[in-house]
Amino acid sequence: MKSGYGLLVLAILIGSIGLTGCGTTGVVNLSDPGYTTRQQTGGETTFGLDYRDFEYSAKKAVDSFLNSPLSRTPGSTAPWIMAISRITNDTTLNIDTDQLVKKMRVALLNSGRVMVTTAVGADGPEDAMSMEVRQLRESDEFNQDTVAGRGTMIAPDLSLSGKIIQRVNRVGNKQQADYYFQLTATNIKTGLAYWEFEEVIAKLGPNNDFVW
């Protein structure tokens, strides 16, 4: 009788250890081999996109750009001036695409190859102050030598646009969510795409609930 209770306790203990050792979501990231090695804030892998996914995609994108032959302005050492156009979130998740773009901007700026203008953007300037301070030109209160003069802003050479697309497919009794990170840098003068990038992050997991 006692040994029976002992076995029961042992089984419960093993069960508890087994449960704590497993992820509860059952979702795995198929694309980023280093996903689970990154520090985790939420702990679990989910069907959604988290900072690890954005970090992975941004790194791949920056690496791709810096290895592109057009990442340097032809015949010059001056950096490209880049405007951030629309990065469309075409998924079922409420995400801010700046989570991707900001990481790229930091790396590109530090590379010395690209500077981003905040005075021009697809939905208006990111920072309206550049234009606002020019309203001070008529003001006696300001030393006019310190007010930005006419013709001092620099127009962009490149425009960064893109899309994050999501496709969900059933795979047996599981579902797979594929996220396509697509980016393009367009030479504004010619309208030609100078750089193109695509990276896919695939996540496989239970087909119990919608992925959002």
The residues binding other proteins (CB under 8 A) are 32-34, 36-38, 55, 58-59, 62-63, 66-72, 74, 88-94, 103, 106-107, 110-113, 166, 168, 173, 175, 187, 190, 192, 206-210, 212
CB of 61 to other proteins, least distance (A): 10
Pick between residue 71 and residue 117 the one whose CB is nearest to other proteins. Answer: 71
Residue 9, token pair as written in the block: 């306790």
Token pair 């594929």: residue: 178
How many Å apart are CA 95 and CA 75, to the nearest integer? Answer: 39
CA-based nearest residue to 40, from 52, 53, 29, 55: 52
Nearer to other proteins, 109 or 131 (CB): 109
Identity of the residue, 57 or 117, whose beta carbon is nearer to other proteins in the bound complex: 57
Cβ of residue 22: shortest distance to other proteins, in angstroms?
Answer: 14
- Shortest distance (Å) from residue 142 CB to other proteins: 33
Cβ 162 to other proteins, closest distance in Å? 14
DSSP assignment letter at 79: P
Determine how many CB atoms are found less than 10 A away from the CB of residue 162: 24
Closer to other proteins by CB, 91 or 159: give it.
91
Name the residue nearer to other proteins (CB basis): 66 or 131. 66
Cα–Cα distance for residue pair 151/149, rounded to 1 Å: 6
Give the shortest CB-27-to-other proteins separation in angstroms: 14
CB 128 within 8 A of CB 82: no
Nearer to other proteins, 1 or 192 (CB): 192
Helix axes 98-111, 51-66, angle to 10 degrees: 40
10 CB-near residues (< 8 Å, 6+ apart): none
d(CA 11, CA 15): 6
User: Closest distance between other proteins and the C-beta of residue 125, in Å?
Assistant: 17
Structure tokens given for 10 = 């042992």
